[in-house]
Structures are given as C-alpha cells and as structure tokens.
Structure 1
C-alpha cells in the first residue's frame, strides 16, 4: 500500500492507494479477498468490525444455541496466511465510484485501481412508527447478542421464585427464513429445553407470536414447505397471524393493520432489508430496493473497475428464472459467496489484461431450520423438496461447512450435539 501526506489537491486529507479495495467482510468480500490473497494481489479489506459474522446463524446466538465465537471470527485470523491482504477496521462514510475511492470516518481517502463493494444491507422498518426505536432487528451479531440478553432477562423474570403474574409475549415480525427459524428456536427453548426442567409451568407463561402480511410462511419456498413449516411451528405453540401487518410498535406491544393488538415486551423485526445510507447517498446506479445495478460480469453499470457483490447488488439471473423475464438473483449467502469468487477471477483477468466472463450462479437450493429434527430444504434449481430429519441433517451439514475456520466447525458440531441430542442447553449468563 502506498500513502502520501495531505496536499492541496486533496483538500488536506491523507490519501492511501492500493491495487484492490474491498468494502465489507461478509461472504462476498471474504471469498474475493481470499482468492486474490492466494495470488499475492495487494488487497485492502475495510470493515466496521474486526470479524466476519456468519449471519445465517445469528438467530442461534440470540437463542443461546451458539456463542459469539462460533459465529464471528477475526478477519485478521482468516488472512494470516495471505500477507498481501491487509484489514482496516473503520467506517466508510462516502463512496466515489468515479474516482474508485472511499472516505473513512477520520477523513482518510482510500483509492484503488479496482474498487469492490460488498457492504451488505440494513433492516428495513418501512416507516412503521416506533419500529426502529422499540424492536430488535436481526441483521448483525450485535443485534443477536442484544436480543439474547433480552430473552434471558425475560426468562429469568418468569422463573423468579417471587412469582410473575403477567404473561411474557414475544412478537416476531416477518415470516421469512429468519422469522421462522427464530420463532421455532424460541418456542423450542420454552417447550423442550427449559419447560420440562421447571415446576412453575414456564411454557404456559410465555407465548411466541409470528406476524406476516402474507398468507404463508417461507414465501420463496414451495406450497409443501409452507404447510410443513406452519404445522411444525403450531405444534411448538407459536401463534401465527397471517394477512395483517404491524402498523405501530411501542414498548409494550404492537398494533396490527386489522385493528388488533398484541401486548408484548419483546418485538423482533425480521420484516425486510434496505440499502445502507452509504449506498443510497452515493452516485451509484440504483435499482429495485435501492440495490446497485451490475452487469453480468459483476461490474457496476457505467463504472468500469468498480464491482458490487452480495446482498447490495442486483445481479442478473442469467437463467431467466422469472418465467423467462429478466430477474435478479436472491439475497442469499450462497449467491454472495459465489459472486465473490467469480469477481476475483474477473479481477485477476483485469490485472492480466484479459477479458472478463459473465457470472452464472450455481443454484444449490434453499433451506430453513424450524427445530430439532424439523427443517425444509429444496434442492437445486428444480427445487426437489425434502423435510424432517433428512432436511435437518442437511441444514446442519451445509452450515457447518460454510463456517470459515476448523475450530468453529468443531465447536458448532459440539454445541449442536449437546443442544439437539439432549435437553441440557445451559442458559447463558446475562451481563446486560
């Protein structure tokens, strides 16, 4: 990396230059930087956190199934064998695609021959009054830990020998994979893990509600998966509220679009995603949902040398999966990871003066966990459906292999064997 002192041409700001700058240490940025690191390409990876977080498992941190160290892993540890990859822990406050540069929180300007944006997305509260102030989003490891402290505190209150007369209700907004997996895990905690161990009838004192404006859970899945997920959640005691939306969130409950109300001290928001302000305020070409329009080679439309990857990018589905109409790929970890790997190959081609190639996503399917022995998976582009114990084991296998370190894989498997094989899951210590 080269740097120079501030001068009049850059307004007195420190300027550093690197061959490739990657903003975001998620699935896409990680895959790209690792591939370039193996080729000794000079890379600066910038992230506000010093760790990579495995977002699909955040809900298990929130429900005390896994610890933080099993879901988050230090970025510098991941790249310890790649000396050409350097990690900067800082906040990017501005992006200039024309100059292929980013500005950090202290005013430092980082420029690159090739700029890669993989910043991910934020929670979308859709302007619902009180939602941002009073609900618990589920998009970061910090979110998961904050919710964990809340849930443990509520369970401690219910289990108090002094007695609790009022009910404890948890409302989850959104019936997608995050909402379904979280609802199942919380309900299972109450019914299977904690309930049988206490004489006070803790299960009857806590109710889990899931609210969705549609008429089915897991919308991207098939009808068979919709029915299976609904049946399994209802058997766990989850109260499902379909065909209505949350119109207001307060400290003591939610108002519904059908005029109803649910009294609840804990509201979890799993209802949508939006582009972060960093992207919304930039000069990047934005499409549906505020995501960045990219070409099939993953470069940003109109900005050669700038790539956008993962959830923030509108990546064309070259298979024409929307009835032959132009479509974009879904916001999945597998899409992010594969796009990072392909962008790395195109960047190597850029540096060598070769032509880029178009990205073709290898669709391996989608899956969701509902509880012990209960999951759904739809395999491949044809979406061959499996459910129950087979899907449950497949879910565990896929997720453990995607963890970035061998230590995390061993720790996760150990936790899951104890968690799903027994009723011995310990409640975590609450420090907040």
Structure 2
C-alpha cells in the first residue's frame, strides 16, 4: 500500500471512521490506500450501558466487520504520536510487548474519553465507577457481596456522587439491585450527592420534574450544593462537613478526552478535546482529524457543540472517516453537521424520559420512553451486520442517525 489512513480507537467514533473511510475508497475504486485501526482488541465496548447489570457482556466483536470492509486491525496501545514525522508508536500486548512505529498519511484520533477523577482523598482507593467494563464489573461483584456483610445502615446505603446523566441512570438502578441482593424487604438507601443546586444540572429545567418524580418514586434521595471532601471504606465526607455512612460509593464525575490529545500540538478545550473545523480537521494541522469524545466540534451554526455521547460519536465518526479519505484522494469533503439533538435518559424500573432539542423539551416519559431507550441500547448503537455493501451503506456520512 502506498498510502495509509490510520484510526486510533475502536469505540463508536473509531469504528465508524474506519468504515466510512473504507466506503469512500471502495466507491472511487482505490485499492492503493490502506485503512488501519489500532486498539487493544477488535471489539466495541458498549459503554452507554455500563450502569446496567451484567456489564461484562456489554461488548460486541468487530473482527468480522473489519475483514468484510477491508480494514486492517492492529492490536496494541498508542504510546506516542509524532505529527511532524506523521507516525505513531504502538506498544504490543500480551506476549508480544514489542513497540512498532506506524506511519500515516492521514490520522484520525478517535481514542475516546476516560472518567475524570480529581485528587479527592480516598477516591481512587474506595470509590467505584461505571466508566469501563472492568470498573462496572467490579462494582457488580461488590454489590453481590454485600449480603455476606453484617447488617448495618452503611451496608444498605449507596452514595452516587454526581447527579448528571450517568449519575441519574446509575442511581435509578440501585434500589432494585440492592433489594435483589439483600432481600425484597430490605431497608435500602440510595443518595445522590451533587455540588450544584439542581439534579441534572446539565440537563436543564425541561425534564427535571419528570426526573425528580421518577427518582422519588424509586426511593432515591439527593443532597445538593456540596461536593465530596473525602471517601473511605465506610462512607463519604462532604465539603459542608456532613458525613454519610455507606459501604458503596459510586463516582460519576464526568469525562475527559483521552490523554493522547495532549500530544497533539493544537488547542484543546477544558475537557481535553481538540478544536476542529467543520470537516473535523484539527485546527492548524493538515493531516490530523479528531472525532468522537476527542473533538470539540460544532454541530450546527447556532453555537451548539457535540456532547461526549454515543449519539454524536457515531455521526462524528462517519464524517471524520469520509473526510480523511476524501482529503487524501482529492475528493469532496462533507462538513460535519448534526443539528437535531435528542436525549433519552434511563430511569430504571420507573421508565425513561425522552427529550428533543438543546432546550430538552419532553416528548415522551415513562414506559413508552423506556421502550425507546431499550431499543437504542440493545439495537441502534450496536455494530452493523451484513455484507460489504450493507456496511458501507450504513457508513455514509450523509446518513445522520439520532440515538
């Protein structure tokens, strides 16, 4: 191969970037350009579902998809990106821990994000989270093990730190999961702690009455206006001096873009995302594109920017892959645009709430919204299946998917 498009990451944006780039190459009949993707394993981790039970099963294989689409998979971890030399250093995994250098003609950074963990005393040692599959599985094992502990108020209490999207979805699941472990009649407490003045501060006032009603009906309480000062094996101390006894503390403190973005000589926002133009090129660099949670990208001309979400990552990926290939081949680029914005927030056994627009107008709630959320989580966000033609049809960047 004389040229190479290199994608870092096999998440939602990385998978769709590689497929979209391969689609354009196939469309114009070019077989002299390689599309390669680097990730630890050829599998998609369905991260939006990790608040649910059985997190270890929240992954989908990608090997056959890559083979069908003609995408080369490179197992490993990217350690260094050199934008001047246009190459990356990749550390092997397992027995083959050797490092190799891979050159690129166009680079797509789709390395995703990680949970933000500030230096709060005891947070790393004593708090759980649902950021990655291994983390969520560790929490699930802990909850299953609570029944073997002596009865106490702390054993029966879960504190969820953060009342944002992930915090709400996690908290809504907890009362039922605790009772599964401790017994249907167990006196359980689930308490959300949020330093802001409202539940769901980033979700706005639109869906808040539905959210607070659902949480109340589920038995979830909340404490607002104070963050966490420290965490230990038996609970949390709040910044206002209050203490909550709890054997289970779950941290949902937001996400930050992959640390690889810090290696790119370009401007980043407060979340570590790289500033990109409408074609998803990193500003100031001709051969590097960023997508998904690594990109600070405008969705429209109204001042709205993509969220760190599966909804935006899938379409950002389609656009980034197409534009990486188009730019290399001299074909027409397609500016990324995703003006329609929706949210569908899972509220556990109570149901869900579905909103439309950046002002999040409630369009559906309860069981009806839960059915939609289930369809999103179990069907729409999963990798595509089918032959080469079907894969490429779904990878078309003009096919904007809202999920």
- TM-score of the aligned structures, taking structure 2 as reference length: 0.85
Q: Secondary structure at the match of 1:217?
A: coil
Q: For structure 1, which segment, 105-114 or 222-231, has the greater mean C-alpha deviation from structure 2 after superposition?
A: 222-231
State the partner residue of 1:186: 174
CA contact (8 A) 2:171 2:190 kept: yes
CA contact (8 A) 2:237 2:243 kept: yes
Q: Distance in 2 between matches of 1:175 and 1:67?
A: 21
State the partner residue of 1:427: none
Q: Distance in 1 between matches of 2:257 and 2:341?
A: 26
Distance 1:47 1:184, change over 3 A: same
The residue correspondences of 1:161-176 to structure 2 (distance < 5 A) are: 164-165=151-152, 167-168=154-155, 169-176=157-164
Distance 1:140 1:256, change over 3 A: same
Q: Secondary structure at the match of 2:104?
A: strand
State the partner residue of 1:404: 383
CA contact (8 A) 1:100 1:306 kept: no
State the partner residue of 1:131: 123
The residue correspondences of 1:192-271 to structure 2 (distance < 5 A) are: 198=184, 201-202=185-186, 204=187, 206-271=188-253
Q: How far apart are residue 139 of structure 1 and its match?
A: 1.5
Q: How far apart are residue 379 of structure 1 and its match?
A: 2.1
**Equivalences, count:** 370
Deviation above 4 Å: which 4+ runs of structure 1? none
Q: How far apart are residue 46 of structure 1 and its match?
A: 0.7
Candidates 306, 309, 316, aligned match of 1:329: 306
- TM-score of the aligned structures, taking structure 1 as reference length: 0.79
Q: Secondary structure at the match of 1:79?
A: helix
Q: For structure 1, which segment, 392-401 or 240-249, has the greater mean C-alpha deviation from structure 2 after superposition?
A: 392-401
Candidates 312, 333, 354, aligned match of 1:377: 354
What are the superposed Cα offsets for residues 26-58 of structure 1, whole Å, 9 maximum, x if unpaired? 111111112233445521111123421111101
Q: Secondary structure at the match of 1:347?
A: helix
Give unmatched runs, 5+ long, in structure 2: 27-32, 92-97, 387-403
Distance 1:165 1:315, change over 3 A: closer
Q: Distance in 2 between matches of 1:279 and 1:344?
A: 18
* Mapped pair 1:345 → 2:337: no
Q: Distance in 1 between matches of 2:287 and 2:340?
A: 27
Distance 1:143 1:353, change over 3 A: same
Which one has more relative contact order, counting CA pairs under 8 Å at least 6 apart? 2
State the partner residue of 1:157: 148
Give unmatched runs, 5+ long, in structure 1: 3-17, 322-326, 408-432
What are the superposed Cα offsets for residues 3-45 of structure 1, whole Å, 9 maximum, x if unpaired? xxxxxxxxxxxxxxx6111001111111111223344552111
